[in-house]
Amino acid sequence: MSRVLPASVLPALFGASLLLAGPPAIARPLADGGVTAQEVAEVLQAKGYQAKIDKDREGDPKIQSSTDGVSYEIYFYGCHKGPRCSSIQFSTAFHVDGGMTFERINAWNRSSRFGRAYLDDEKDPYVEMDLDVEHGFTTEAVDNNIDTWDAVLPAFMKVVDCARHPGGDSCKSGN
């Protein structure tokens, strides 16, 4: 037998659930024209992740981080020698002994909305996720996209069969 709560109880339960969940995170708007590596690193660190800021071959910023033992980089594009960059890309590669097939990578690309994959010359898989941040972004949007990337990685690891070999010799992450 199911019980129905009186309508007068529902507002009190809803209010109590909000108190338990805590206050919502306050989104801080970022300056128009993109994001800086420091802003992205601060959001990563607030979520408990490491964030090492470095430079890529062209001198643009990049961040090295990891989640669940998977190393990845965040590359910054459209920086025009300034601190604000108009787009960023989350990226990692896996070395898989014997490589992967194009069919498996194509199946991933067909079935996945977030993260695109490709194979290098040795048929090792890469997965990347791009963000256009040129016309306004918030710290909350950066946070949400980090969560999306955190969901992409384990799903992709299943495709490359890393779930059985995390950090093992037959499947290593990193660019």
Q: Kindly report, residue by residue over 142-173, the tens digit of the pLDDT.
A: 899 999 999 999 899 888 876 444 444 456 66
Q: Tell me: the pLDDT tens digits for 42-70?
A: 999 999 999 999 999 989 999 999 988 88
- Which pTM does this prediction carry? 0.76
Q: CB within 8 A of 129, min separation 6: which ones?
A: 89, 90, 91, 114, 115, 116, 145, 148, 149, 152
User: 174 pLDDT band (50/70/90 cuts)?
Assistant: low
Q: Tell me: the pLDDT tens digits for 105-143?
A: 999 999 999 999 999 999 999 999 999 887 777 888 889
